[in-house]
Amino acid sequence: MFGLGMPELLVIFLIALIIFGAGKLPHIGSSLGTAIREFKKSIDAPPKEATPSPPDQILCSQCRRPVQKDWLACPHCGLKLEAKPGA
Ligand SMILES: [Zn+2]
């Protein structure tokens, strides 16, 4: 790609060798590999699904149907729900 053949890559490699020095090249390569690996991992991993927040519901003590915590009365049977402060 980019019209680069083996000779051009070799020249680029040699320039990199001169700039960074032979000692640093393996480190650069490994850190580059790690970065690519992390990038691929983040792509492959399924997106973390937001854990569904627990439904803000309780069961009516009389008809056992779900009612919202902050409701004052059960809409199904009309039972007055007790407010539970701090619950
Ligand atoms: Zn009820």
Phi, psi (rounded to 5 degrees) for 68: -70, 145
Q: Which residues are 73's β-sheet partners?
A: 80
Task: Please say if the pLDDT value at position 52 is more than 80.
Answer: no
Question: Would you say residue 75 has pLDDT above 90?
Answer: yes
Report the C-alpha gap between 26 and 19 in whole angstroms: 13
Contact (CB, 8 A) for 27 and 16: no
- How far does residue 66's CA lie from ligand 1's centre (Å)? 8
pLDDT digits (tens, 9 = 90+) for 14-40: 887 788 787 877 787 888 889 889 989
Would you tell me how many other CB atoms lie within 10 Å of the CB of residue 77?
Answer: 13
pLDDT at 24: 77
Q: Return d(Cα 41, Cα 6) in angstroms, integer.
A: 30
DSSP state of 12: H
Question: pLDDT over 70 for what percent of the chain?
Answer: 80
What integer best gives the mean pLDDT of the chain?
81
51 Cα to the center of ligand 1, angstroms: 28
